[in-house]
Structure 1
Amino acid sequence: MYGRDPWGGPLEINAADSMTDDDRSRNLQDLDRATPSRPLDETQQSWLLGPKVLKKKKYVDLGCILVSRKIFLWTLGTIVVTALLSGFITLIVKTLPHHHHKEPPPDNYTIALRTALKFFNAQQSGKLPKNIYNVSWRHDSCLQDGKGDPGQCYKDLVGGYYDAGDSIKFNFPMSYAMTMLSWSVIEYSAKYQAAGELEHVKELIKWGTDYFLKTFNSSADNIYVMVEQVGSGVSGRGSELHNDHYCWMRPEDIHYKRTVSQCYSSCSDLAAEMAAALASASIVFKDNRLYSKNLVHGAKTLYRFATTSRNRYSQNGKESSKFYNSSMFEDELLWGGAWLYYATGNVTYLERVTSHHMAEKAGAFGNSPYYGVFSWDNKLPGAQLLLTRMRLFLSPGYPYEDMLSEFHNQTGRVMCSYLPYYKKFNRTNGGLIQLNHGAPQPLQYVANAAFLAALFSDYLEAADTPGWYCGPNFYTTEFLRDFSRSQV
């Protein structure tokens, strides 16, 4: 029988029995020599070796990289499961009812603060800014104030604030209002920020200080004149002057030329109060270095004028005496000097305000029925508290300690008079303290006292002092807070 060897021709597989062992050996040798010397192709190998056993690949070829098959399957499974879960969660969220939680309404103090600041927006004079704080019925007004008056200390007097009940701009109470706003921002800027009113109140302060810088030669080191008011309120029937106090008309409808009243040489109270306004505002705007520097320079110029003129701006029957008469000027010198020390750190101001002579002239050791009643006319209680703050936190020591300690004691005495246990001031049936002894317009004095009491309590707590003495009795700071809350 013959078979075909796929590589080398016929091969005899079964030979006759007579084949010898040598012949078989030679045939085996011939078979070895018949082993192919070239590599087998895939088809030949399959024929020779039989069916190939396929093994699972351990890697997956992704084109540019080889990835472990196990890792690839785990990754793919994770992606699929994540996608399914995300879709399921999204479906649940979209099908569930939505409950929109409204912001809680502002508390009463925030509402009161916003309403109080809105008053200043309603009283703004000049070309009003375009912002969200504007009062809807107010528009530009009195854009010709101070214009067309050659040779004066001012170029124009547009801006500022009208008085509460008319269209006159009284610089004395206006300066006091700006000082108080600045003081509140310096001490409670975080509270303003929390109420969303910090930028608002700073705009209001700047509206006032921008106007003040127009009322005197703010670039000079020394001045001899300044503006005290714009508008008139004393002209009678038949007068050629318009009466801005009794005329009930919108300031937007005022197109006539308005009177400008100036103060020469006798302006200590007015100049010192305006210096306080500019100095305190310079602290508010300390991040605006150029503007703050201009405010400080103006405050120095005004205070220098105040200390050389030495008299009341409202003396001798001037029109200002009929509206905002100043009873003395030493309290403004004390007040303005304290603010200038805070604004500049110049010890010259500290030496002046800790003078026993100035304190005595300002009424620091008095005992009048109005002692401790803080107002646009009486700055002494505010000045004493401001200097008490200096003692508590700055501790300037000798030679200022004796007078600062006296101011501290006097401030404590004023706070004692606010408490209901002391009978210096009467109270209404509802508990309102009558600081002006039953005279009209009591609320301004009450609000000022509440502010001072809250400040003093905060100063004491910041200095780790739990309270103060009223004679032999010790009262904690909570008594002052209770008083403030009861009056506002």
Structure 2
Amino acid sequence: MARGGGVRTQLTPLCAVLMALVPLIPFAAAGGGFEFDYKRALHSSLLYFEAQRSGHLPYNQRVKWRGHSGLADGLQQGVDLVGGYYDAGDNVKFGLPMAFTVTMLSWSAIEFRDELIAAAAAGEEWRHVLEAIKWGTDYLVKAHAEPDVLWAEVGDGDTDHYCWQRPEDMTTSRQAYKVDRDNPGSDVAGETAAAMAAASIVFRRSNPRYARLLLRHAEQLFEFGDKHRGKYDGSITEVWRYYASVSGYGDEMLWAAMWLHRATGRTEYLDYAVDMADELGGATWAIGEFSWDVKYAGLQILAAKLLMEGRHRPEHRRTLEQYTVKAEHYLCACLGKNGAAGNVNRTAGGMLFVRRWNNMQYVTNAAFLLTVYARYLLASAGAGEESPPVLRCPDEAARADELLALARAQADYVLGANPTGVSYMVGYGRRFPRRVHHRAASIVSHAADGRFVGCVQGYDDWFRRAGPNPNVVVGAIVGGPDHRDRFSDRRSNYMQTEACTYNTAPMVGVFAHLHSQAEAAEMK
């Protein structure tokens, strides 16, 4: 189901009625200071991706309440589409948010590799990061069955949302939907290309053959997306109610070009990002959000990195400067230093607030971009700058430590430093959401009770239960509180209690960074 981004979403009548009855009652405010175990948060975040797996689960699966599911995906269409991730608390595999999740996991692995390796003995967490990325890329390789064909969805959102079943019991449609030359989807092709290119960088050392495979797919998908242009929700109308590409395909194509340039070093991809900057909006759109739908801020920050490092030709400089101005707009908006240009709203408790539906995705993505940009600033200072570089904002300049402080404040809010005193990461801390809007977590596990749970039976016996879920989906970051920091822990309150893979993915890198900083502070 779509999460924010201004996307219209199809809801079941039952859910709509129940949602209207949910009061938003605040918990008692928490007091005192907060000290968080970022290493534990990192560990939990990686567990979450195992809970979202579709397909035949491996022998080393740590989340034991999940079982094999979706083992016939693609069979009807004559293609192997077994595997990948369920995006949230439903049983549909949506290609666009899945690819974005993989891109953000890969970006975390690229930027925070050393911190992730140091986070546990023998690089245990690093191994889990690679496994989480590869579970996604293995599926994306299957989905890209031919150079100009990409399977972009498995399952039907409408029938899925009328059922409440474990993935292991699915009786809903597993129809698969594709984009091709006659039915283009440049946005999903571009995001999948970005995911493949970013992941190829991650696997370059440990699995160079696999990295080359991913890069070949990325290059083909980029060419396909650029040659046959169009929005994928125009070709696959079934996705429109759930993950419509409101921002269009321009951001994804530029985003893919940036990642391909970073993965290959080939100037042709940077030429594309520069030449198409105006036409596709990269150097013109000033955005206050970064999400599975809207990639402009992310690609603008990648462009700013190139400018800082001087890794460009002289003819690229002017356009990269335009990209950088737009990147600064986003960061300054988060800091509240944009003046009349507009800032991201904040709640009284300090949470960045963009939209009431799954606002946590904007919080975690902002924390990530603030962190990486601060690191880019600090790296450029170490490269011989006479004075530490700063972020240029309309109100006043901001130093790297201010960006890092805001990123940490958002991460701490997620973990419990908020007026409700609730950790919005499930399984972390003493108080966290117990009634997550999640089919598999809310029904007794298949391992504990293998009896079939029917479509309506799931609603009658499990969805409507007042008690907590029988399974804890550890590491899931739920949609979170409203603009007044209020949160209601009810299964029917899907806007606040449903979690998504792309909420947690950017926090893998942020938690690794914060753990590293905490350890460094202890050693002083």
> So what's the TM-score if we normalise by structure 1?
0.71
Are 1:246 and 2:162 counterparts? yes
Are 1:184 and 2:108 counterparts? yes
Higher relative contact order (CA 8 A, sep 6+): 2
Listed one character per residue, the Cα deviations across residues 332-371 of structure 1 (whole Å, up to 9, x for unaligned) are 011001001111112111100012x43453253245xxx1
Query: Which residue of structure 2 lines up, in the alignment, with residue 258 of structure 1?
Result: 174
Does the C-alpha gap of structure 1 residues 316 and 345 become closer, same or farther in structure 2, counting only changes over 3 Å?
Answer: closer
Query: Which residue of structure 1 lines up, in the alignment, with residue 401 of structure 2?
Result: 478
Query: Which residue of structure 2 lines up, in the alignment, with residue 42 of structure 1?
Result: none
Query: Which of 320, 324, 331 is 1:408 aligned to?
Result: 324
Query: Which residue of structure 2 lines up, in the alignment, with residue 309 of structure 1?
Result: 228
Query: Which of 179, 198, 201 is 1:283 aligned to?
Result: 201
Q: C-alpha distance in 1, partners of 2:320/2:38?
A: 33
Listed one character per residue, the Cα deviations across residues 374-396 of structure 1 (whole Å, up to 9, x for unaligned) are 00000000001111112222421
Listed one character per residue, the Cα deviations across residues 228-280 of structure 1 (whole Å, up to 9, x for unaligned) are 1001122xxxxxxxx22331111112367621111233110010100000000
| Conserved 8 A contact 2:277-2:319 | no
* Deviation for aligned residue 1:313: 0.1
Unaligned residue ranges in structure 2 (runs of 5+): 1-34, 382-387, 412-524
- Where 1:358 maps in the other structure, the secondary structure is coil
| Conserved 8 A contact 2:160-2:172 | no
Q: C-alpha distance in 1, partners of 2:395/2:88?
A: 43
Query: Which of 67, 73, 87 is 1:163 aligned to?
Result: 87
Are 1:126 and 2:43 counterparts? no
Q: C-alpha distance in 2, partners of 1:254/1:471?
A: 53
- Where 2:75 maps in the other structure, the secondary structure is coil
* Deviation for aligned residue 1:107: 5.0
| Conserved 8 A contact 2:154-2:176 | yes
Going by fraction, where is strand more abundant, 1 or 2?
A: 1
| Conserved 8 A contact 1:467-1:474 | yes
| Conserved 8 A contact 2:332-2:343 | no
Query: Which of 266, 280, 305 is 1:346 aligned to?
Result: 266
| Conserved 8 A contact 2:337-2:393 | no
Query: Which of 106, 109, 113 is 2:42 aligned to?
Result: 113
| Conserved 8 A contact 2:285-2:296 | no
Are 1:321 and 2:240 counterparts? yes
Q: C-alpha distance in 2, partners of 1:214/1:274?
A: 12
Query: Which residue of structure 1 lines up, in the alignment, with residue 362 of structure 2?
Result: 445
- Where 1:314 maps in the other structure, the secondary structure is helix
Aligned residue identity for 2:396? N
* Deviation for aligned residue 1:476: 1.1
| Conserved 8 A contact 1:283-1:343 | yes
* Deviation for aligned residue 1:297: 0.5
* Deviation for aligned residue 1:472: 6.3
Query: Which residue of structure 1 lines up, in the alignment, with residue 186 of structure 2?
Result: 268
Query: Which of 129, 141, 166 is 1:201 aligned to?
Result: 129
* Deviation for aligned residue 1:130: 1.6
- Where 1:163 maps in the other structure, the secondary structure is coil
Instruction: Report 1:43-192 matches (<5 A).
Output: 108-131=37-60, 134-150=62-78, 155-192=79-116
Instruction: Report 1:428-443 matches (<5 A).
Output: 428-436=347-355, 439-443=356-360
Does the C-alpha gap of structure 1 residues 470 and 318 become closer, same or farther in structure 2, counting only changes over 3 Å?
Answer: same
Are 1:468 and 2:387 counterparts? no
Q: C-alpha distance in 2, partners of 1:317/1:207?
A: 24
Q: C-alpha distance in 2, partners of 1:389/1:363?
A: 15
* Two-structure CA RMSD over aligned residues (Å): 1.9
* Deviation for aligned residue 1:289: 1.5
Query: Which residue of structure 2 lines up, in the alignment, with residue 214 of structure 1?
Result: 142
Query: Which residue of structure 1 lines up, in the alignment, with residue 156 of structure 2?
Result: 232
Q: C-alpha distance in 2, partners of 1:442/1:388?
A: 26
- Where 1:111 maps in the other structure, the secondary structure is helix
Q: C-alpha distance in 2, partners of 1:108/1:421?
A: 30
Q: C-alpha distance in 2, partners of 1:468/1:424?
A: 15
Question: Which deviates further from its counterpart, 173-182 or 393-402?
Answer: 393-402
| Conserved 8 A contact 1:166-1:246 | no
| Conserved 8 A contact 1:467-1:477 | yes
| Conserved 8 A contact 2:288-2:344 | no
Question: Which deviates further from its counterpart, 201-210 or 252-261?
Answer: 252-261
* Deviation for aligned residue 1:283: 0.3
Are 1:333 and 2:248 counterparts? no
Q: C-alpha distance in 1, partners of 2:274/2:289?
A: 21
* Deviation for aligned residue 1:372: 2.8
Q: C-alpha distance in 1, partners of 2:172/2:327?
A: 48
> Larger Cα Rg: Structure 1 or Structure 2?
1
Count of aligned pairs: 360
- Where 1:474 maps in the other structure, the secondary structure is coil
Q: C-alpha distance in 1, partners of 2:239/2:216?
A: 27
* Deviation for aligned residue 1:188: 0.1
Unaligned residue ranges in structure 1 (runs of 5+): 1-105, 235-242
Query: Which of 300, 312, 315 is 1:396 aligned to?
Result: 312
| Conserved 8 A contact 1:334-1:359 | no
Q: C-alpha distance in 1, partners of 2:236/2:204?
A: 40
Q: Identity over the aligned pairs, expressed in percent?
A: 39
Query: Which of 204, 215, 239 is 1:296 aligned to?
Result: 215
Listed one character per residue, the Cα deviations across residues 152-203 of structure 1 (whole Å, up to 9, x for unaligned) are xxx3111000120211000110000000000000000111112231110110
| Conserved 8 A contact 1:145-1:257 | no
Aligned residue identity for 1:264? D
Aligned residue identity for 2:96? F
| Conserved 8 A contact 1:168-1:245 | no
